[in-house]
């Protein structure tokens, strides 16, 4: 693996968010918990230190623009009309990282699509998708989330399917249309084999 970009290294090794991050203290704590899950899972999977730093960085950075207004983020996302306002933070963050010189396509895709999922997710994208949903600060479905965390990462394929089912089921229950990107992710998740290694 090539050397990590300074922003990725600062996030994953030092827990530092970029200067341009727009996050409340509660959001920062959320990203720290997501990063911690990814650090733990990657360690259990036997990843080397550089890969673990990269995974933790994805957790620290995924919501770096979550508290920025959609009006500000819209111009930063090429196909902004395809995203609901509350989802613009992922692709906008990936675009800012890309503009800063981050060339790690898998990490950028993981951050851009961490909420919706993506058919082309690699291990990091799938892990971030789950960690964002499973981090212990989320109180809804507390028992289920604790069970899913306990099963990670050894039962990652099954947990990924169960988390995707829960997230998509919640959208359907609330009458929110499923985006084509999420539908593609669902097809990829349910087509064996999937892995988070």
pTM: 0.94
DSSP type of residue 194: -
Given a cut of 70, whether residue 1 has pLDDT beyond it is no
What does the alpha-carbon distance between residue 133 and residue 170 come to, in Å, rounded to a whole number?
12
Encode pLDDT of 63-113 as tens digits.
Answer: 999 999 999 999 999 887 788 888 999 999 999 999 999 999 999 999 999
Assigned domain for 129 exists: yes
Q: How many domains does the chain have?
A: 1
Which residues touch 182 (CB under 8 Å, ≥6 apart)? Answer: 116, 117, 168, 171
- Summarize pLDDT for 15-61 with one digit per residue, the tens: 999 999 999 999 999 999 999 999 999 999 999 999 999 999 999 99
* Residue 177, SS3 per DSSP: coil
Count CB atoms within 10 A of the CB of residue 122: 16
For 29, 60, 122, the CA distances from 16, given in Å and listed in that order, are 12, 8, 24
CA 17 to chain centre: 15
Q: How many helices (H) and strands (E) does the chain have?
A: 10, 0
Q: What is the structure's pLDDT at 111?
A: 98
* Predicted confidence band of residue 7 (pLDDT cuts 50, 70, 90): very high
Q: What are phi and psi of 142, to 5 degrees?
A: -55, -45
CATH of the domain at 149: 1.10.3210.10
The reply to whether 1 falls in a domain is no
| Residue 197 belongs to some domain of the structure | no
Q: What pLDDT sits at residue 168?
A: 96
- Residue carrying structure tokens 């997710």: 121
Is residue 195 in some structural domain? Answer: no
Tell me, what's the pLDDT at 197? 61
Q: Is position 196 within any domain?
A: no
Place of tokens 């988390």: 163
15 occurs within a structural domain: yes
User: How far is residue 72's CA from residue 77's CA, in Å, rounded to a whole number?
Assistant: 10
Inside any domain, residue 59: yes
Q: What is the pLDDT of residue 73?
A: 94
Which residue range forms the structural domain that includes residue 38? 6-190
- Check: CB of residue 45 under 8 Å from CB of residue 63: no
**pLDDT tens per residue, range 137-186:** 999 999 999 999 999 999 999 999 999 999 999 999 999 999 999 999 99
Q: For residue 97, tell me if it sits in a domain.
A: yes
What is the model's pLDDT at position 173?
95
């Amino acid at each position: 693996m090539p050397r990590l970009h300074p922003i990725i290294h600062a996030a994953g090794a030092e827990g530092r968010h970029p200067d341009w991050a727009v996050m409340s203290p509660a959001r920062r704590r959320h990203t720290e918990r997501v990063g911690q899950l990814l650090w733990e899972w990657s360690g259990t999977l036997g990843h080397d230190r550089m890969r673990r730093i990269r995974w933790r960085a994805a957790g620290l950075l995924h919501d770096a623009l979550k508290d920025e207004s959609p009006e500000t983020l819209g111009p930063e996302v090429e196909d902004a009309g395809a995203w609901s306002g509350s989802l613009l933070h992922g692709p906008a963050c990936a675009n800012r990282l890309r503009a800063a010189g981050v060339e790690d396509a898998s990490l950028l895709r993981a951050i851009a699509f961490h909420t919706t999922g993506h058919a082309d997710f690699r291990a990091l994208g799938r892990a971030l998708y789950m960690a964002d949903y499973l981090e212990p600060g989320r109180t809804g479905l507390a028992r289920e989330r604790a069970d899913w965390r306990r099963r990670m990462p050894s039962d990652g394929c099954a947990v990924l399917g169960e988390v995707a089912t829960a997230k998509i089921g919640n959208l359907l229950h609330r009458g929110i249309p499923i985006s084509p990107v999420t539908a593609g992710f669902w097809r990829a998740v349910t087509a064996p084999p999937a892995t988070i290694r």
